[in-house]
Amino acid sequence: MKGFQANEQTNIIEINRKKCKGCDSCKSFCPSAAIQGKYGAIHSINSEQCIFCGQCLINCPFGSIEDTVDAVESVIAKLRNQQLTVVATIAPSVRVAIGEEFGMKPGTLATEQLYGALKQAGFKIFDTNFAADHTIMEEGSELIAKIRHYLLGEPAEHELGALPQFTSCCPGWVRYVELYAPEILPHLSSAKSPMMMAGALAKTYGATDIWHVRPENMVVVGVMPCTSKKFEASRPEFSSAAHYWQQRGGTAHYPDVDVVLTTRDLARLFKKLNIDLNQVEPFTDADNPLAQYSGAGTIFGNTGGVMEAALRTAYFVITGQELPFLEYTPVRGLKGLKEAEVTLKDAKTGKVINLKVAVVHGIKENLKPVIEQVAAGRSPYHFIEVMNCPGGCVNGGGQPINPMGTSWTGNWKALLPWT
């Protein structure tokens, strides 16, 4: 994939020439060699090579790298438009990060305060955790079908992708594959990310059954820890809801997710509206089915979380029993490449298989040998989770930046539930 499709968001991450010191720190964090300029000279970013992960931004010691896509004022204007229903879909990592923007201890779980602030601002709530549970069912079912076909010898009901199966919920990782490893595209899961599932669900089921509004009068705002989500939302293929309604007589065309705010963006929006997370009335939205979710969706924001949730699903469907471990520790923790093997006994045939899985976080440091094995047809794994950012989404490019102008080093580990 070269260049961009029509209407895709470009130049999301840019270097401020007036602030850049040419120190090369950004290059050491860039997974795609997108940053140009010699040491000591002003640097720039080649957007056609960039995966928009924002790791350079949160790790620049001089604060010279900026997220240039600022939709805060636009979203405020939409919230004030009485003709529109504005829905926020909130990623799991946001609730343990946004409190830091309001003086709370890093890692504070502020779900009810966040819900309360969103309600006060005028948003309807669609928790992305709900969509993450759907992702588990989609991605897990896809993996199960491949296990039954490739490992248990059962006939396939439809064309399946290749094993090993890679996760597909990290947009930085997906763009990396498109740009730098297109030969492994057949191995990517066909499942959308939770944010994109949330957008499509909000403008179909949510519009008709929850909020009772016309989908063309809805604005879905992704609230994400990730700058690459701004690119993902702009991709023209993500307009499933409009396509669904066009098949039923509709004529309007619109994206599934209209705009993305990072955790930092949402904090600025709250402050512009004089909303303080420390002062809002906590809210649970208990009567909203789109704000209900399982622990499987919650752990998506951590490295290994998607893998663990998918393994629970695959294990139960194939064996008829729950995975013996409530917390599957082999795929947890901060090691750059984690490996595990799970024995499954098919409840129908009695056949036993050993499912080998891997978890990679931090594309720059840990991914190359994994891709090379897959491309060469000698990968030992059946299922591989990849997240671009170290530690997973909790350390995404849209998360709070500490006062020194560097990333969450020393803080973000506190966000992991097993530490």
Q: Which of the residues are catalytic?
A: 139, 142, 169, 189, 229, 232, 237, 393
The CA distance from 198 to 207, in Å, is 12
Listed in sequence order, the residues at least 6 apart from 125 whose beta carbon sits closer than 8 Å to its beta carbon are 87, 88, 90, 115, 118, 119, 285, 288, 290, 291
Which tokens belong to 256? 């599934």
Question: Would you tell me how many other CB atoms lie within 10 Å of the CB of residue 274?
Answer: 8
Name the DSSP class of 348.
T
Angle, nearest 10°, between helix axes 305-319 and 128-146? 50
Q: Does residue 245 contact residue 419 with C-beta atoms inside 8 Å? A: no
Beta-strand runs (E) in 91-227: 124-127, 165-166, 218-224
Tokens 């997974």 correspond to 31
β-partners of residue 385 are 359
Beta-strand runs (E) in 70-212: 85-90, 124-127, 165-166
Name the DSSP class of 188.
B
Listed in sequence order, the residues at least 6 apart from 66 whose beta carbon sits closer than 8 Å to its beta carbon are 13, 14, 15, 16, 57
Name the DSSP class of 4.
-
Coil/strand/helix, residue 386: strand
Give me the torsion for CA of 102, 302, 222, 270, rounded to 10°.
0
The CA distance from 407 to 344, in Å, is 40
Which tokens belong to 71? 């939709």
